[in-house]
Structure formats: structure tokens, C-alpha cells
Amino acid sequence: MPQIFRKKIRQDTVAAICPGSEGIALAEIRRDKDVPPLLDVCRFLPLEPGQSEKSLLNSVAGEHHLNRHRCVSLVDLGEYSLLMVEAPDVQPDELRAAIRWRIKDLIDFHIDDAVVDVFEVPDTKTPGKDKMLYAVVARSSAVKKRVDALLDADVNLNAIDIPELALRNIAALLPEDAGGVALLYINDYRGLITITRQSTLYLSRRIDKGLSALPDTVMHDEDPDIIGPWLDNIIVEIQRSLDYYESRFSQPQVAGIVITPLAREIPGVAEYITEQLEIPTRVLDVNMLIDTKQHVENSLQSECLLAIGAALRLEGRVT
């Protein structure tokens, strides 16, 4: 094809487009030399009554010229498994085949129907403990559905990531990350705890219940009898994650816990976690984390947090 007709891809920007059942989260991160990353675009576009997901996706992709950006997306929480497995003693070009064999009995569908990727687990620095890897396992049909929808919308798709790595990208920018940080993400239906240190993901743990498990009155009622049991379950999961991080990887206590913005404001969450775990806890504000083209409200941060993390992806990272 003659050069004049080839589309020019912007190399300074990564766009993350994350379709969901209620709409599409879009974030664009621009990186210029010697300056911090800039959140150039942050939008959540709801699916209107009677509107098809395909129509909305085509509209967003066209409006934001996503055929001219390096684009990434995410597999939805619940559509994949993240397994820690012993690293097989094989040549690098045989690794994925060996991992597929190793995990075939750990998943509830046939391995021939799985797409598998791997990335390294940090060294435990403990004699006698085997080298481990993380295996990301998803049904091929789920990944293909996401990829096909984006390609049909003429999105220049470069990669599909997982939420753990999107949160890792955000955690890497936190001051607490130098000494280790637990990042807590909760949406309406589920949640995720990640622990990172110096830009490296050590572990993650899923939370089965999200904000929808709480009655609407928590937005106006600070009664601990309403919030307490729900939050105590989350604290138990955080404590289990911290205990495993410290014992498995021979690490000191994390420097802090950071909560990503919630779709529904719940008073006193950070203070309660600080009191229970005796670890400094705060709520993340994206406006204080990276440069933003315009102020991003908390509600929009909660809707686009994973997309922002995905757009912070660096090409050189293994995902």
C-alpha cells in the first residue's frame, strides 16, 4: 500500500478501552520525554437504553480515533484465573507448553479451550523454595470475543492485560511502593487486593463481594452495624494477603494500604482499616498521582481506574 494511505499511529499515547455491561471506560495516557505521564482523556460512556454494545463501541472508537493509537484492553475480573505454579525446568521456547500441561488439572475446562500466558513471581530469597511463575488462564472464547469486538470497531489493539497488572501500574507510582503497598480495588460486584513493591507484583487476592452487597443506606448512615461486617470480611482478606506476602517472600510489613476511589462513598473506611490493621491507610486520588488534563471527580475515577492503570502500561513490561 502506498505510504500516503497508511494510517499514522501516535507513539506518545496509549489508550485503554474497557467495555463492560454498563458502558465503556476510556483512558488515554500521553508520555512526553522528561515529563510525567499525562491523563489526556478519562471518560465513562454509559450504555443507553436500547443501545447495543457494538454501536457504543464503534461510536467511542471513531470519536477518539482509536485506529490511530496504541490501544490496550483488559480481561474482566471473573473471566480468568491467576495461578501460582512451580516453574518447569525447560527451555524458554518450551515454557508455555510445559505450563499448560502443569495447570490442566487446576482449571474447570479443557486445556485445549484455554489461552495461557505467564509472568515471573518475585524470588523468595529463601533456600529450598522452588522458583514460581504466575499463569494467567482464560477461556479462549472469552478473549476472542473481546478481541473480535475491538477489531471490528477498528481499534488498533496492541495487548490484552489483566486487572492485577493495571493495578500494578498504578501502585508503581505511589510513594508507598518503595517499601511495599497493598492496593485495594472494589467495584459493585467484586474486588481485588494486590501487593507490590518497587513496581513488582508479588501477589493478588480476589474479594467475592463488592459494593452491591451493602444496602443503599450506607451512603447516608455511618452505623458501624451496617458497614462493619462487610468491611471486616475485607480486612480479613487483606490480613491473609499481608501474612502470605511476609512469610512467602520474606518481606517486611508493607509501608501502607491504599484504597482506590469507590463508586459509593462510605465514611471512615480508611480510618477503620488503619485502626484494625495498624497500617497507614488512605484513599487514592488520581489527580494527585499523575498529571491530568482536567480534574477527575471521584465517581469517574472509580469507573475508569482500571482503564487508567491499563493505559499506564509500558511496552517493555512482561504481561
Mean pLDDT of 244-251: 94
Residue 126: pLDDT band with limits 50, 70, 90: low
Element (H, E) at 227: helix 224-248
Question: Which pLDDT band holds residue 319 (cuts at 50, 70, 90)?
Answer: very low
* Separation of alpha carbons 82 and 163, rounded Å: 11
Domains of the chain: 80-142 (3.30.1490), 175-283 (3.30.420.40)
Per-residue pLDDT at 8 exceeds 80? no
Which residues contact residue 184 at a Cβ distance below 8 angstroms, ignoring those fewer than 6 apart? 191, 192, 193, 234, 238, 257, 258, 259, 260
pTM (predicted TM-score): 0.92
What is the reported pLDDT for 2? 42
* pLDDT higher than 50, residue 142: yes
Which of 75, 74, 76, 64 has its CA nearest to residue 154?
Answer: 64
| 192 to 80, 165, 304: CA distances (angstroms) | 13, 11, 15
